[in-house]
Amino acid sequence: ATGKEHWPRGDEKVWKEALRGVDKDVPSVTKSFVNHVQTSLARQAYNLDDLGAYQAAALSVRDNLIVNWNETQLNYTRKNPKRAYYLSLEFLMGRTLDNALLNLGLKEEYRDGVKKLGFSIEDILDKERDAALGNGGLGRLAACYLDSGSSTELPLWGYGLRYKYGIFQQLISPEGNQLEAPDPWLENQNPWELPRLDVTYEVRFYGQSERLANGRGIWQGGQEVVAVAYDVMIPGYGTKTTNNLRLWESRPKRGFDLNSFNAGNYEGAVESSNTADAITSVLYPNDHTSFGKELRLKQQYFWTAASLADIIRRFKQQGKPMNQLPDYVAIQLNDTHPTLAIPELMRILIDEEDFGWDQAWSIVTNVFFYTNHTVLPEALEKWPVPLIEHVLPRHLQIIYDINLFFLQAVERKYPNDRERLARMSLIEEGFPKQVRMAHLAAVGSRKVNGVAELHSDLVKTTILKDFVDFEGVSKFSNVTNGITPRRWLDQCNPELSDLITKTLKVEKTVWLKDLAKLKGLIPFAEDAAFRKEWAAIKQRNKERLAHYVQTTLGLTVRTDAMFDVQIKRLHEYKRQTLNILGVIHRYLTLKAMTPEEKKKVNPRVVFFAGKAAPAYYIAKLTIRLIVNVASKINTDPDTKDYLQLYFLPDYSVSLAEVLIPASDISQHISTAGTEASGTSNMKFCLNGGLLLGTVDGANIEIAEEVGESNVFFFGHLTPAVEDLRYQHIYHPVPLEEKCPGLARVIEQVAAGLFGDAEIYEPLLNTIRQTDYYLLSDDFDSYIAALGMVDEAYQDQDEWVKKSIKTTANMGKFSSDRAILEYAESFWNIEPSPVEAPKKAT
Ligand code: B1H
């Protein structure tokens, strides 16, 4: 050694002073980072890569979160406010480090700190894996609500499951097939969770239930597993409040069993094991369907039983009698997945706490609140009676008792109306009989809500109509969904956020918590210089997306085109098929154009992303069609300058954060009445992307806010849908006659223009035959709407004005507004701010 070796990275002096713990001049962020490099990771500047730097930064930020978490929990223990609990089988959190830095207000300090040590904050942030413990909108909504709960200082905890494997990783084969691989997200350790090995509960399955004469039951035998708590800290934006998300892991009560994960057979692997730790091994990827699988039922019970035991233990620590539970506890059921909490609380109150039925029922029905997220029949959960009887014998007895008392009350109000009793029963007759979880959730809750105005009306007039008639309409209401503007504007679109702050002359700490302030942008739509800046940011976001596609897929995307995006789970009701058939229609139109005609065409780049449930054959075929259309048209010299198409694999929260800010237009084109709300529609519009959609879900309320002239609507309305479906079946018209444009497109696919002719037949037949989702009814108006989008885009000045006005009017869709509606009108809880600690004198 010469003694003059080159220092490996960053500023040698800063590293060395931080290592020696020299106090003066070295910022605390740097000291803490270097300290974690040395003592937590046992590394040093010589062998620290970006992943190591991410881990050190995360551990250092986590130290701050822990301090706030502790103060928050102490504050709650001292003040003992009424608390709310959000029970969700899914929390789609995405990445945490950037959000934690933003919420703690430490982003710039860390940016500078790591720079001096030789790292870029962007590269470090990029090393984090998404926490993807959810399928789609329902799970992401839960994550936004936790962010807003902490940001508005509400005493709100989440309860969920700590799946070892989150939503599968999506691979696309060269032929265009979706392949699924496990998502081992915990592989590199997870700095954001605190294992609480001392917080455990035993949960029973199977066994026998004996009924005593006094109505109580004794449930014994069977199998017991242990639930272990892992706490995830949820910081609020600009507050000390750091709430908790408690996730349960299952462990065997004694001994140990090994369960191997089989990547080749995802479906089989999910069902393969009946051992204790299988319960929390994997998230079910079957969004919007209910299959009645034993392991899923065990997940639901394991989670609700552990969560309720934990909630009750915390309540009892305050020394209050159990009949005061509803004064201190509100529990929100995120869809019907946690509905077993209702019979479980009855079991605890009756079998363990000695309550009589009526008193127990009055407690239960004042604690629970139920949110419905879909009216699609295939998504309404039903559990076979024999399965519940086998796995949860005591709960089946309680469900039958609830049903008996409930139907007796219905009978008193509507004597001799057997059909009504059959419709409303918690038990559906059939082979086997099934428990209707939505009925159980509705009957056992204080309030029931849908997630957008139209959807809440549909809940009241269709699936729960009889319940509205019986119980009165006041129990049923609406809370329109929201999104957190911290992640979905400030973090994902920092340049736009900065421009907004500069323009409004309001600190972002203010407008990010009072999103109505965005209205202040409206006058700037008329300011040409402002429009120029606005458009330049959109352009740079397109380039950022193009760079992502270049580096991950090796494909070159042109950025001087309109970016048209549809990203969501693949589902027939969401009609990605309509979009891809529209793309083919455009392709065929371009092919028929003269070079002169083509000169007037505005280039368009179409992006798709989204996962299909592993067993959803038609959805997987749609992906295959998109991929094969893309390879054809992207290489066709006649059209490639006017139309490009990309299917981006492995859609995730992090990919959404890149796609959304780059979009000029996004598509939300579900058959009217099928998309309960949608939440990405809100994210696109908040980022100045215009909306092309049907009159469905939250699209309607977005149009009300931003003005109908700023959205592109098409298609039939909800009241027409039923009749159109009837026509398809009883008065079918040949497709060539009914919708020649669509017929021509389908003909080309069937003829093999994109290869694989026969392979697409089952997909094409869904349209040729019943066409349940009404593609043939909406195709012409869809194509017309796409034409209006083209036309509007030609006038860039007007387009940018629309974009600005759209963002400016999106204040309603902050999840802060939504969570406060739940807090005020359902839970009856209030903010409980953490007081600043007294300064030492
Ligand atoms: C939504 C679901 C869903 N609705 C069952 N229903 C699942 C149902 O795994 N399962 O069994 C998973 C998910 N997800 C979505 O919720 C709606 O389709 C969206 O329109 C809505 O925006 C979102 C949040 O409310």
Position 232 scores a pLDDT of 98
How confident is residue 416, by pLDDT bands cut at 50, 70 and 90?
Answer: very high
CA nearest 115: which of 230, 27, 239?
Answer: 27
Position 265 scores a pLDDT of 63
- Cβ neighbours for 640, distance < 8 A, ≥ 6 positions apart: 633, 634
pLDDT tens for each residue of 174-187: 999 999 999 999 99
| Structural tokens at position 491 | 């973090």
pLDDT tens for each residue of 36-61: 999 999 999 999 999 999 999 999 99
Ligand 1 centroid from CA 283, angstroms:
14
Torsion-angle region of residue 170: left (phi > 0), alpha (psi -120 to 50) or beta?
beta
Q: Are residues 17 and 138 in the same domain?
A: no
Does the residue 514 lie in any domain?
no
How confident is residue 261, by pLDDT bands cut at 50, 70 and 90?
Answer: very low
From residue 435, alpha-carbon distances to 11, 371, 481 in Å are: 65, 18, 28
Ligand 1 centroid from CA 180, angstroms:
21
Mean pLDDT (whole number) for 236-259:
83
Mean pLDDT (whole number) for 727-750:
97
CATH number at residue 636: 3.40.50.2000
Residue with CA closest to ligand 1 atom 24: 138
From residue 698, alpha-carbon distances to 146, 674, 702 in Å are: 21, 11, 6
Strand-pairing partners, residue 801, are none
Mean pLDDT (whole number) for 803-818:
98
Q: Which atom of ligand 1 is nearest to the CA of 679?
A: 22
Ligand 1 centroid from CA 197, angstroms:
32
Residue with CA closest to ligand 1 atom 12: 287
Does the structure show a pLDDT above 50 at 840?
A: yes
* Residue in the structure block whose two tokens are 């789970």: 569
Ligand 1 centroid from CA 171, angstroms:
23
| Structural tokens at position 510 | 């203010």
- Cβ neighbours for 133, distance < 8 A, ≥ 6 positions apart: 90, 91, 92, 93, 139, 160, 161, 162, 163, 166, 167, 247, 283
How confident is residue 721, by pLDDT bands cut at 50, 70 and 90?
Answer: very high
Q: Are residues 685 and 594 in the same domain?
A: yes
d(CA 25, CA 606): 51
Mean pLDDT (whole number) for 761-788:
98
Q: Are residues 199 and 218 in the same domain?
A: yes
- Cβ neighbours for 349, distance < 8 A, ≥ 6 positions apart: 322, 355, 359, 360, 363, 364
Ligand 1 centroid from CA 138, angstroms:
5
pLDDT mean across residues, the chain: 95
pLDDT tens for each residue of 292-344: 899 999 999 999 999 999 999 999 999 999 999 999 999 999 999 999 999 99
Q: Is the CB of 97 under 6 A from ligand 1?
A: no
Yes or no: say if 198 and 216 are a contact pair by the CB < 8 Å rule. no
Q: Is the CB of 100 under 6 A from ligand 1?
A: no
d(CA 21, CA 31): 7
Position 3 scores a pLDDT of 57
Does the residue 520 lie in any domain?
no
Ligand 1 centroid from CA 373, angstroms:
5
Burial environment of residue 733 by CB neighbours within 10 A (0 to 12, 13 to 18, 19 or more):
exposed
Does the residue 580 lie in any domain?
yes
Q: Is the CB of 698 under 6 A from ligand 1?
A: no
Domain containing 60 equals 1-79+96-128
Residue with CA closest to ligand 1 atom 2: 288
Please state which of the ranges 276-290, 560-574, 784-798 shows the lowest mean pLDDT: 276-290
Position 818 scores a pLDDT of 99
Does the residue 518 lie in any domain?
no
The CA radius of gyration of the chain, in Å to the nearest whole number, is: 28
| Three-class SS state of 95 | coil
Does the residue 772 lie in any domain?
yes
Q: Is the CB of 241 under 6 A from ligand 1?
A: no
Q: Are residues 473 and 602 in the same domain?
A: no
Backbone angles phi, psi at 163, to 5 degrees: -65, 135
Mutate to test the pocket of ligand 1, among 163, 372, 373, 478 (most ligand atoms within 8 A of CB): 373
Q: HSE (CB half, 13 Å, CA atoms) of 591?
A: 13
Q: Are residues 143 and 198 in the same domain?
A: yes
Q: What is the 8-class DSSP label of residue 379?
A: G
* Residue in the structure block whose two tokens are 């949820």: 234
d(CA 150, CA 14): 35
Backbone angles phi, psi at 59, to 5 degrees: -65, -35
Mutate to test the pocket of ligand 1, among 287, 372, 383, 463 (most ligand atoms within 8 A of CB): 287
Residue with CA closest to ligand 1 atom 3: 288
Q: What is the 8-class DSSP label of residue 392?
A: -
d(CA 213, CA 216): 7
d(CA 29, CA 18): 10
Does the residue 825 lie in any domain?
no
Where is 585: in which H helix or E strand? helix 576-591
Q: Is the CB of 697 under 6 A from ligand 1?
A: yes
Q: Are residues 395 and 366 in the same domain?
A: yes
Mean pLDDT (whole number) for 591-607:
96
Q: Are residues 146 and 75 in the same domain?
A: no
Does the residue 557 lie in any domain?
yes
Mean pLDDT (whole number) for 745-774:
97
Task: Output the CA angle 487-167-298, nearest 5 degrees.
Answer: 115
Q: Are residues 86 and 103 in the same domain?
A: no
Residue with CA closest to ligand 1 atom 10: 287
From residue 551, alpha-carbon distances to 82, 547, 556, 557 in Å are: 50, 6, 9, 11
Could you list the beta-strand ranges (E) of 182-270.
Answer: 193-205, 208-211, 217-220, 223-235, 242-252
CA nearest 480: which of 442, 450, 439, 517?
Answer: 450
Position 257 scores a pLDDT of 38
Mean pLDDT (whole number) for 355-379:
97
Residue with CA closest to ligand 1 atom 16: 138
d(CA 544, CA 531): 20
Q: Is the CB of 815 under 6 A from ligand 1?
A: no
Q: Which atom of ligand 1 is nearest to the CA of 697?
A: 20
d(CA 801, CA 798): 5
Does the structure show a pLDDT above 90 at 256?
A: no
Residues annotated catalytic, as ranges? 373, 568-569, 574, 679, 683
Ligand 1 centroid from CA 320, angstroms:
37
Does the residue 758 lie in any domain?
yes
Q: Are residues 650 and 729 in the same domain?
A: yes
Q: HSE (CB half, 13 Å, CA atoms) of 248?
A: 34
Position 267 scores a pLDDT of 62
Mean pLDDT (whole number) for 488-503:
98
For the chain, what percentages of helix, strand and coil (3-state, to nearest 5) are there? 50, 15, 30
Q: Which atom of ligand 1 is nearest to the CA of 455?
A: 20
| Three-class SS state of 565 | strand
Dihedral sign, Cα of residue 704, residue 706, residue 707, residue 712:
negative
* Residue in the structure block whose two tokens are 């099934």: 434
For the question of whether the overall pTM of this predicted structure is more than 0.90, the answer is: yes
Torsion-angle region of residue 43: left (phi > 0), alpha (psi -120 to 50) or beta?
beta
Ligand 1 centroid from CA 353, angstroms:
35
- Rounded (10°) CA dihedral 760, 764, 765, 768: -160
Domain total in the chain:
3
Position 837 scores a pLDDT of 59
Residue with CA closest to ligand 1 atom 5: 288
Could you tell me how far CA 555 lies from the centroid of its own chain? Answer: 29
Could you tell me how far CA 506 lies from the centroid of its own chain? Answer: 30
Q: Are residues 177 and 187 in the same domain?
A: yes
Residue with CA closest to ligand 1 atom 4: 373
Residue percentage of the chain with pLDDT more than 70 = 96
Q: What is the 8-class DSSP label of residue 282?
A: B
d(CA 74, CA 381): 39
Q: Is the CB of 138 under 6 A from ligand 1?
A: yes
Backbone angles phi, psi at 666, to 5 degrees: -125, 155
Q: Are residues 464 and 544 in the same domain?
A: no
Does the structure show a pLDDT above 70 at 263?
A: no
d(CA 434, CA 91): 28
464, 479, 494 - which closes a domain: 479
Position 814 scores a pLDDT of 99
Q: Is the CB of 676 under 6 A from ligand 1?
A: yes
Q: Are residues 71 and 135 in the same domain?
A: no
Position 262 scores a pLDDT of 46
Ligand 1 centroid from CA 806, angstroms:
26
pLDDT tens for each residue of 180-224: 999 999 998 899 999 999 999 999 999 999 999 888 999 999 999
Mean pLDDT (whole number) for 602-630:
98
Q: Is the CB of 288 under 6 A from ligand 1?
A: yes
* Residue in the structure block whose two tokens are 């893309």: 630
